[in-house]
Amino acid sequence: MSDPLEKDPQSELSPDITGTDGRTLADRVFARLQDDIVRGELLPGTKLGETELATRYGVSRGPLREAIRRLESRKLLERVPHVGTRVASLTLPDLVEIYHVREALEGMAARLAAQHMTDEEISGLVALLSQHEQQQDLKEDTAYFQREGDLDFHYRIIQGSHNDTLIQMLIGGLYHLVRMYRYQFSTVANRPQRALQEHRRIIEALEARDGEMAELLMRRHISRARENIERSTPPGENP
């Protein structure tokens, strides 16, 4: 728990983080801290002392503060001047807000993806889907892969929009919050069969280059997920 940062362990997921260095110290501590928050290493509400973090990551307080400022603008940290920073704790209404934004943004992403995705990207998406369907057949402990796989599906469509502003907002901004929530509450879609079917129809719309249909389906897909969240038991009352 007190290892210097050096990006030691496996970093297979989170493509944001290029395992090696090559960037500045502040950038590395930013990536590392973000990862620790998202993966639940640092629990929401945790008070983060600057000197403590600085020694923990083996850097000075300068770069650390820059990283904190950036995480703060990504809503992963909450800071009060002269008091301190703590890990953002998402409430259920916050998550509902995020899903409204996702609905709008990813709907647009699907529309643009239908226009701008290359044929190779689409066929890659088809392959990913059949892979997910096989995992679903196996009915193994697919919770983890299902979770990340779902994210991966959405990732690819977002990238397929070829709109950098959109990509930044979604992947650089919102998805870390969603992932943090999922890790925190082990929230896995409890409607995997239906979700897969929705994914399949979205891909069909993409293959048909039907932007309006793709947007409509994606919005429905996310809207249902949101309703699912709204109906679910609030955090802490999970079985």
Between 49 and 172, CB nearer to DNA: 49
Please name which of 166, 151, 150, 152 lies closest in space to residue 113, comparing C-alpha atoms.
Answer: 166
- Shortest approach of a copy of itself to residue 30 CB, angstroms? 9
Interaction partner, residue 163 (a copy of itself, DNA, none; CB < 5-8 Å by kind): a copy of itself
What are the structure tokens assigned to 214, written together?
A: 């793709």
Q: By CB under 8 A, is residue 189 in contact with a copy of itself?
A: no
Please name which of 228, 202, 225 lies closest in space to residue 215, comparing C-alpha atoms.
Answer: 202
Q: By CB under 7 A, is residue 18 in contact with DNA?
A: no
Q: Is 122 helix (H, G, I), strand (E, B) or coil?
A: helix
Query: What residues numbered 69-128 form the site for a copy of itself, per CB under 8 A?
Result: 69-70, 73-75, 81-82, 94, 97-98, 100-101, 103-105, 107-108, 112
80 DSSP 8-state letter: E
233 DSSP 8-state letter: P
Between 135 and 223, CB nearer to a copy of itself: 223
The stretch among 80-88, 107-115, 132-140, 206-214 that binds DNA (CB under 7 A) is: 80-88
Q: By CB under 7 A, is residue 97 in contact with DNA?
A: no
- Shortest approach of DNA to residue 18 CB, angstroms? 15
Encoded amino acid at 179, one letter: R
Please name which of 101, 111, 145, 100 lies closest in space to residue 217, comparing C-alpha atoms.
Answer: 111
Which pairs count as long-range contacts for 231-238, CB under 8 Å and 24+ apart, including other chains? 232/187, 234/92, 235/92, 235/184, 235/185, 238/185, 238/186
The stretch among 18-26, 123-131, 141-149, 222-230 that binds a copy of itself (CB under 8 A) is: 18-26
Q: By CB under 8 A, is residue 24 in contact with a copy of itself?
A: yes
Interaction partner, residue 94 (a copy of itself, DNA, none; CB < 5-8 Å by kind): a copy of itself
Cα 218 to Cα 182: distance, rounded to the nearest angstrom: 20
Contact 196, 133 (CB under 8 A): yes
Q: By CB under 8 A, is residue 8 in contact with a copy of itself?
A: no
Interaction partner, residue 4 (DNA, a copy of itself, none; CB < 5-8 Å by kind): none
What are the structure tokens assigned to 123, written together?
A: 């066929």
Please state, in angstroms and as integers, the Cα–Cα distance from residue 202 to each residue in 66, 163, 209, 217, following that order.
40, 19, 11, 6
Name the site residues for DNA (rule: CB under 7 A).
Answer: 24-26, 48-51, 59-63, 65, 79, 81-85
Name the site residues for a copy of itself (rule: CB under 8 A).
Answer: 23-24, 26-27, 62, 65-66, 69-70, 73-75, 81-82, 94, 97-98, 100-101, 103-105, 107-108, 112, 163-166, 168-169, 173
